Amino acid sequence: MNAQQIRARFLEFFADRDHAVVASSSLVPENDPTLIFANAGMNQFKSVFLGMEKRDYVRVATCQKCMRVSGKHNDLEEVGRDARHHTFFEMLGNWSFGDYGKRESLVWGWEFLTGDMGLDPANMWASVYRDDDEAYAIWRDDIGLPASRIMRLGDLDKGDDENFWSMGDTGPCGPCSEIHYDQGADMACDHPDGCTLGVCDCDRWLEIWNHVFMESDRDASGKLTPLPMKSVDTGMGLERLVALVQKVRSNYESDLFTPIIDSMSELSGRAPAGEDRVSMQVIADHARAVCFAIADGAVPGNDGRGYVVRHILRRAARHGRNLGLREPFLWRAAEV
């Protein structure tokens, strides 16, 4: 399957389960001064989670345009140097506003990945927040995942927020359960405590899908107040899923990026290897980010999101010079 087919199948899967399919919101958030760019699928539903707004639906699925280039969710310096981080990406997600709960969310997630996407169940792992016994039991008893592949992580009392998700320092939050894919021992790292999920953060253990169980609203003091209704918020990076389905080890080897990388290789006359490949991957990522940002009204400027767009442009241009490119070239990537 190509990326377009995978995106469409995700939305169809949840439409078949009575979810409204809603278009992505703009990368430039409306009425939310806390964000420079939309950075998660739940941004457009924040007021619903807070009980400030009601929608005509209680189940929804989207494919949201996201950028993570500042603040807590900032992947900029990792871009191009590993297999999985991006400035711009698409987040597949499904939500329940006071309707279904953990069981449906996790069971459907498992069905979609192992059934519709054909991922090998033997390579699937799950993590849950340390005292989320309900999620743990669903994985073990309802889905049948061996206990040896279910990890309890995080401890807020000790300052460890692993498997406890929040959009920022304040706002809706709650425990989460993440689905991971073991890409094999040949991708293992040499962490001194062993290459194990929850210990290291290498490419062997690829986080695919995060299922967040929204239960609380956190204020500036850190106090957690129960939300008016318990809800489900899930997010899965399209780029990671496409790479897994297409059986490639890097997002940049999928059909979302290879056309741009191939065009930069042809233009520069260099093979996509070593540091040259890093530069081509940076350009491929940044070209996508700039195109979508400008299309949504964020033009290069001297402050705010305009400065961020300009910074991404300059970073791409610098990597173009690393490839020996001295004439304008990003327009070629934009065409691809």
We report the CATH number of the domain holding residue 74 as 3.30.930.10
> Residue 149: what pLDDT?
96
If we measure between CA atoms, which residue out of 49, 56, 51, 62 comes closest to residue 15? Answer: 62
Q: What is the pLDDT along the chain (336 residues), one digit of tens a residue?
A: 999 999 999 999 999 999 999 999 999 998 888 889 999 898 999 888 777 888 999 999 999 999 988 655 566 777 888 888 899 999 999 999 999 999 999 999 999 999 999 999 999 999 999 999 999 999 999 999 999 999 999 998 888 999 998 867 788 789 999 999 999 888 888 888 888 888 887 888 999 999 999 888 888 888 889 887 889 999 999 999 999 999 999 999 999 999 999 999 999 999 999 999 999 999 999 999 999 999 999 999 998 999 999 999 999 999 999 999 999 999 988 887
> Residue 21: what pLDDT?
98
CB 116 within 8 A of CB 140: no
If we measure between CA atoms, which residue out of 111, 108, 76, 79 comes closest to residue 95? Answer: 108
Structural domain contains residue 157: yes
C-alpha–C-alpha distance, residues 30 and 186, integer Å: 45
Structural domain contains residue 252: no
Contacts of residues 46-51 at CB distance under 8 Å and 24 or more positions apart, as own/partner, are: 46/167, 46/171, 46/172, 48/97, 48/231, 49/97, 49/172, 49/214, 49/217, 49/227, 49/231, 49/233, 50/171, 50/172, 50/217, 50/227, 50/228, 51/227, 51/228, 51/229
Structural domain contains residue 94: yes
Residue 158 backbone dihedrals phi, psi, to 5 degrees = -105, 15
Q: And the tokens for 308?
A: 């961020």
Together in a domain, 207 and 270: no
Query: Last residue of some domain: 185, 211, 245?
Result: 245
pTM of structure? 0.92
C-alpha–C-alpha distance, residues 171 and 192, integer Å: 36
The structural domain count of the chain equals: 2
C-alpha–C-alpha distance, residues 31 and 206, integer Å: 34
> Residue 52: what pLDDT?
84
Query: Last residue of some domain: 212, 245, 278?
Result: 245
Structural domain contains residue 251: no
Query: Last residue of some domain: 245, 277, 303?
Result: 245
Q: And the tokens for 67?
A: 């950028």
Together in a domain, 315 and 240: no
Together in a domain, 184 and 267: no
Structural domain contains residue 104: yes
Neighbour count for residue 234 (Cβ, 10 Å): 26
Together in a domain, 161 and 290: no
3-class DSSP state of 32: coil
Together in a domain, 304 and 240: no
Together in a domain, 238 and 264: no
Together in a domain, 225 and 177: yes
What end-to-end distance do the CA atoms of the chain give, in Å?
Answer: 20
> Residue 69: what pLDDT?
83
Structural domain contains residue 180: yes
> Residue 70: what pLDDT?
65
If we measure between CA atoms, which residue out of 172, 195, 150, 169 comes closest to residue 49? Answer: 172
Domain that holds residue 38: 3-245
- Name, in order, each residue with C-beta under 8 angstroms of 166's C-beta and a sequence gap of 6 or more: 172, 173, 218
C-alpha–C-alpha distance, residues 41 and 36, integer Å: 14
Together in a domain, 68 and 97: yes
Together in a domain, 184 and 299: no
Residue 17, burial from CB neighbour count under 10 angstroms (0-12, 13-18, 19+): middle
Together in a domain, 42 and 125: yes
Neighbour count for residue 303 (Cβ, 10 Å): 8
> Residue 51: what pLDDT?
76
Beta strands 205-218 and 59-67, pairing class: unpaired
Together in a domain, 225 and 265: no
Structural domain contains residue 211: yes
Together in a domain, 163 and 85: yes
Structural domain contains residue 181: yes
